[in-house]
């Protein structure tokens, strides 16, 4: 079973501060790395899918980087806003390219 | 566009009862997935399908069965419900492509087993 791990489990950040968190995954047989944003009482929504080592993706104030050789991805949020409060999930296919496994998530809370 | 639709949204069962959750997608996606959400554990993959007529086991398949008789539908069955199956179930679909296409999720189905 593929282990996708995220840290920290939860994070409390002051509004306006920037923050980042980590997703780690086995570096062998890498296919892709997904990031999702999951607000309470809603469904997860895709932020990024990254496939190439060194890939960087950006969407507004949120960006992500990928290191497939060492098996980690960082998600960055610049100038956190209250609407950024959510759980951020990463996911990766395992030994079967179609079997997409999620980490347990990082729960982000923004203090006004 | 409806996207991914799950029915029912809520259900309460007694231990030992059976039920089926239906997931329907109108995006002509090849791949479909069933996950369960448990506190502190994120989303855990139950079963998935890479095309009509195919199914495969995920991380936590025990106690569940699935069928994909039509490309647009993916059914999750509980033959004999147990309290440990109390959870929120999410269906998702994607275009496939060696895991490089994003998942589109349904709104979730909350199941309580008494």
Look at residues B111, B107, B109 and name the one whose alpha carbon lies nearest to residue B17: B111
Q: B83 by DSSP, 3-state: which?
A: helix
Cβ neighbours of residue B97 closer than 8 Å, sequence gap 6 or more? none
pLDDT tens digit string along B32-42? 999 999 887 88
Mean pLDDT, to the nearest integer, of B47-66? 95
Burial of B91 per CB tally in 10 Å (0-12, 13-18, 19+): buried
Nearest-5° angle of CA A7, CA A48, CA B96? Answer: 110
CA distance B55 to chain A (A): 11
Cβ contact (<8 Å) for A102 and B99?
A: no
Select the residue from B99, B101, B103, B110 to test the A interface by mutation, using most A Cβ atoms within 10 A: B99
**CA-nearest residue of chain A to B58?**
A99
**Residue whose token pair is 């139950």:** B46
Sites in chain A below the pLDDT cut of 70: 1-2, 95
Q: How far is B103 from chain A (nearest CA, A)?
A: 7
Residue in chain A nearest B101 by alpha carbon: A49
Q: Flag whether residue A97 sits within 8 Å of chain B, measured between CB atoms.
A: yes
Average pLDDT value for residue range B47-70: 95
- Look up residue A71 and give its two tokens: 């098996």
What gap in Å lies between CA A46 and CA A75, rounded to an integer? 13
């Amino acid at each position: 079973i593929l282990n996708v791990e995220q840290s920290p489990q939860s994070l409390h950040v002051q509004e306006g501060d920037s923050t980042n968190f980590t997703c780690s995954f086995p570096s062998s047989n890498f296919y892709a790395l997904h990031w999702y944003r999951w607000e309470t009482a809603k469904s997860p929504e895709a932020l990024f899918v990254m496939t190439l080592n060194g890939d960087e993706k950006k969407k507004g104030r949120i960006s992500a980087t990928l290191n497939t050789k060492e098996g980690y991805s960082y998600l960055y949020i610049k100038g956190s806003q209250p609407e950024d409060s959510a759980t951020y999930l990463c996911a990766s296919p395992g030994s079967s390219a179609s079997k997409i496994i999620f980490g347990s998530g990082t729960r982000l809370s923004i203090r006004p | 566009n409806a996207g991914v639709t799950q029915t029912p949204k809520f259900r309460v069962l007694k231990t030992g009862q059976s039920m089926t959750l239906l997931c329907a997608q109108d995006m002509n996606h090849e791949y479909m997935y069933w996950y369960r959400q448990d506190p502190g554990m994120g989303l855990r993959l139950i079963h998935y399908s890479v095309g009509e007529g195919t199914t495969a086991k995920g991380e936590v398949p025990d106690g569940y069965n699935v069928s994909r008789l039509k490309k647009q539908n993916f059914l999750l069955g509980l033959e004999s419900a147990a309290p440990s199956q109390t959870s929120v179930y999410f269906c998702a679909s994607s275009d496939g492509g060696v895991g490089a296409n994003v998942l589109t999720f349904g709104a979730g189905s909350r199941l309580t087993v008494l």
